[in-house]
Chain A
Amino acid sequence: MPATSTLPRDVATLALRLLQRHGVDYADVRIERFLHEELVAEGGAIATINHTESLGLGIRVLVHGSWGFASTPHLTARLVGRAVTQAIDLAKAARLINRQPRPLAPVVPARAHHVSRCAQDPFAVPLAAKIDLLLAANQALLGPDAIKRATTHLDFFRRHKLFCSTEGAEIEQTLTESGAGLEVVAEGEGRSQVRSFPNSHHGALAQAGFEYVESLGLVPGATQARQEVLQLLQAPPPKAGETTLVLDPTQMVMQLHESCGHPTELDRALGHELSYAGGSFMTPDQLNTLQYGSSRVNIVADATIADGAGSFAFDDEGVPAQRVDLVRQGRFVGYLSSRETAARLHLPASGGAMRADGWSVPPLVRMTNVNLLPGTGTREELCRGIEHGYLLSTNKSWSIDDQRLNFQFTTEIGWEIINGRLGRMVANPLYTGITPAFWGRCTAVGRPEDWQLWGVPNCAKGEPMQVMHVGHGSSYARFDGVMVAPAQ
């Protein structure tokens, strides 16, 4: 199958012409071609190799203050015309209910072309080379009978999209992502343990080419994961009680995602997710007043960062990528936003966070790369002075309440910290807290040299559910007075 090809601009032009003929207030058309190649090995053999190709069009219209959206994979003139009618019919039906106008924050219509950085096109790498890497990493996971599952995967994505609007925008982007990871499950004496590398949640993912996957060190990582999962079968649980935690960047990914990323989505704060994902304690009246964390906490949403799984040049309503402050020196100062939600708050412009997971669905306010900015200090310096605490790594389970306040995480692995030094391994560590109280007790953030950016490919939101690729960057971070318990 072709890895790249041109998109049918004439279809976008046709759709816009039809929409303008219907006198809509605003409309945009998004045509996307999507490629995904997935290779999975289990137990030393190939489990599946799958190639997915998709092409379709989504039309979003605004008619007298009401949105309508329709999509189709059929790019014939007749069926594009039908999708135009369906979108307008939906907007008109919503007009039966909607009474208020729906202004959009302004944007300068761009005509642009963007191709993400990719040194080695993953779709041009011979399949045999990918299989060799996959199996080498998978076979390194195999071992004693206690190993019950050994899974390795490679994933390559390409999104080629054309965005055109009635305001005159015409933006073409090609975004290529590469990722890989492995997971090993061991069982013994009625206990089951899991260990992942280089991270859980499907491993590592970046806007990059095959070179990124080669740089991950999957084979040595597999050996380490196998050793650790067997050690976890014998490891004691942590002691229950309040203590100091040092979280490594692989766990900070989910801490940022759940307790900062989601609650700063402005559509959510305005109630748009109430029937599914919930609301947010970071409501508009708290903007610029809420003390979210300690003065060491600086969090940004950065769609411009190189290699981020949440990076792009323009979002899916044609707004340029930006770096937006969410939390500055502990104060809540900004939202992830769209043109509509920014206008609701009388913000001067959208924060450029409208993203759709494909042509068949409308964009929603999504995370880009929500990152904790680094501080100073090595991991050892962060541990120094801790009489008894834990270093926790690699998220295993995650849960947070519908206002994003009460969270609970478990990690795959942890180590005791005794008198500032790492001690024995602990299994099944669990910690829990309340978002602003937890971030308020952030007493240190590690140095830039240890700062890591991770891609998360499974952020779910919306009805129908859209699964977005987002990024989170962090160094090590230390939190005092955290409630820890064994998950058993």
Chain B
Amino acid sequence: MIGATRLLSDLTKLVKQTRADEVSATAQARTRRVFRFAYEAVHQDLHQESLTVMVKVTLGRRIGVATTETLEPAALRRCAEAARTIAEHAREQALIAPAPWKHRLRVREDYLKATAQYTAADMAGHILRLMQYCQGLGVALAGSAMTGEDELAVVNSQQVTCYCASTVAGTKLVTMHGAASGYASAVSRDATYLDWDGALRRALEQALQPGEPAALPVGTYEVILEPEAVADLLLWLSYTAFGAKNLQEGSSCLAGRLGQRIFSPDITLADDGQDPGVLRMPFDFEGTPKQRVALIDRGIAQGVVYDTLYGARMKHASTGHGLPATETEGPFPLHLVMSPGALPLAELIRGCARGLLIPRFHYVNGLLNPREALMTGLTREGTRLIEEGKLTAPVKTLRFTQSLLEAFSSVRRLSRERRLIADPAQELGCALVPAMHLDTFRFTGQSP
């Protein structure tokens, strides 16, 4: 961990030294310790340290951005000089977004020493324990486990000084038993509270489902999507629908539909980077504090998220969803929160006459026809058939091709339980979501 003092002091010095109309410096430091394992062996482990410092310089209506991966003073000066040189050569912009103005934030409440001090041997010990338990059941185990530390600091010439630090731990488990398999994940800020056993229990329950995997005909089925599967779809909607750029381009499924009912009244969805239930982030990469943004309220399309640029273009304040200055995809939500239902998941299953229980999807792609939120993807480990309210057999891989406008209008119930879904070894973004029972979901293909 580099620490607030060092990061803020180096960035402040850099901003002061750089001659420009506006300067903004963002530093993102990250440590990841990852174990990957399969079939009773660890095949990869790593300790990764990375640091990215990004300097954005504004000269009149010209902007330049440069990035370096060190805090060495000479390299930082070179980086700022490169950003200045780029700004000098760049053409004038029609619109310069105003930088966030005058605030200070220092947030460390999500930094837990227990996670930072978690050793490689601690992690290997957990993996070994789970492997041995699976061996006793005749189940093969594969997966990954990680711990990490994150720091984000933003300083700009408009007197913004922000810093936050956090830790995270996670595991993903795949269980294999004959032709059946299971999957579950867990994530926590505190490695000592990571629910290894709960995740393994869920993954084992799927893999140990009696019966040969059923090859179901393609067609429309009732489905109960567990939280990972719900998040797989919603995270794609974040990218294709819930950002100001998607809305402005007309490619979002919310374009022309704001204020209209697009989903079932059971669905209320927000982006809330300050919610303690998510991997919260108090401010964005521009230094704007995160705001809660209502995306869907009881099925009605409410709004999208903004950064300073799209806020200025669309006459809306930034909602604190700016990405690093090198990103040109526009703002999108990173902390989705869906309101829960009233019944436990077990009750949802009991209420399903014939359908599928789907723990997660594989390789979802939402670019087929974003305007209609048309997506494709596949089931993977752990999908099971429900008959008369009971789980009766594993199900072979099925492909869906489905508009979410249609699917999310057919909500029967949401579960009372919600789970935080994130893949912190991979990317930003998380979702706190319940399971969803949908009346119709269209499957268009099967794997052999």
Contact = CB atoms under 8 A, between A and B. Distances in A.
B362 A464 contact: no
Nearest to B75: A53
B49 A360 contact: yes
Contact of B371 (A99, A190, A400, A405): A190
A58 to B, nearest CB: 9
A30 to B, nearest CB: 13
Interface residues of A, number: 85
Interface in A188-207: 190-192
Interface string B241-285: 000000011110001100000000000000000000000000000
Contact of B42 (A48, A98, A361, A400): A98
Interface stretch (B3-11, B64-72, B290-298): B64-72
B312 interface: no
A87 B50 contact: no
B342 to A, nearest CB: 33
A87 B48 contact: no
Contacts of A151: 328
A464 B424 CA distance: 9
B426 A86 contact: no
A97 B37 contact: yes
8 contacts: A53-B66, A89-B120, A99-B41, A192-B249, A274-B142, A275-B174, A360-B48, A463-B146
A399 B365 contact: yes
A66 interface: yes
A74 B32 CA distance: 16
A67 B143 contact: no
B362 A402 contact: yes
A83 B120 CA distance: 14
Contact of A67 (B45, B68, B90): B45
Interface string A353-378: 00000001110100000000000000
Interface in B22-51: 32-51
B172 A38 contact: no
A320 B389 CA distance: 58
Nearest to A89: B120
Contacts of B120: 89-90, 92-94
Contacts of B66: 1, 50-53
Interface stretch (A15-23, A157-165, A379-387, A426-434): A426-434
A70 interface: yes
Contact of A399 (B256, B363, B425): B363
B47 A403 contact: no
Nearest to A358: B50
Contacts, number: 272
Interface in A389-407: 396-403, 405-406
B123 interface: yes
Contact of B86 (A49, A98, A276): A49
Contacts of B370: 192
B249 A49 contact: no
B380 interface: yes
A284 B337 CA distance: 44
A278 B366 CA distance: 20
Interface string B220-258: 000000000000000000000000000011110001100
Chain B CB count within 10 A is highest, among A1, A49, A185, A487, for A49
Given A53-B68, A96-B121, A397-B365, A405 B249 contact: no
B43 A67 contact: yes
Interface stretch (A39-47, A109-117, A166-174): A39-47
Contact of A401 (B85, B146, B399): B399
Given A51-B67, A51-B86, A94-B124, A185 B251 contact: yes
B64 A49 contact: yes
A482 B224 CA distance: 31
A372 B37 CA distance: 33
A271 B368 contact: no
B105 interface: no
B401 interface: yes
A314 interface: no
A362 B44 CA distance: 9
Interface in B382-400: 397, 399
B142 A191 contact: no
Contacts of B49: 71-74, 360
A56 B68 CA distance: 11
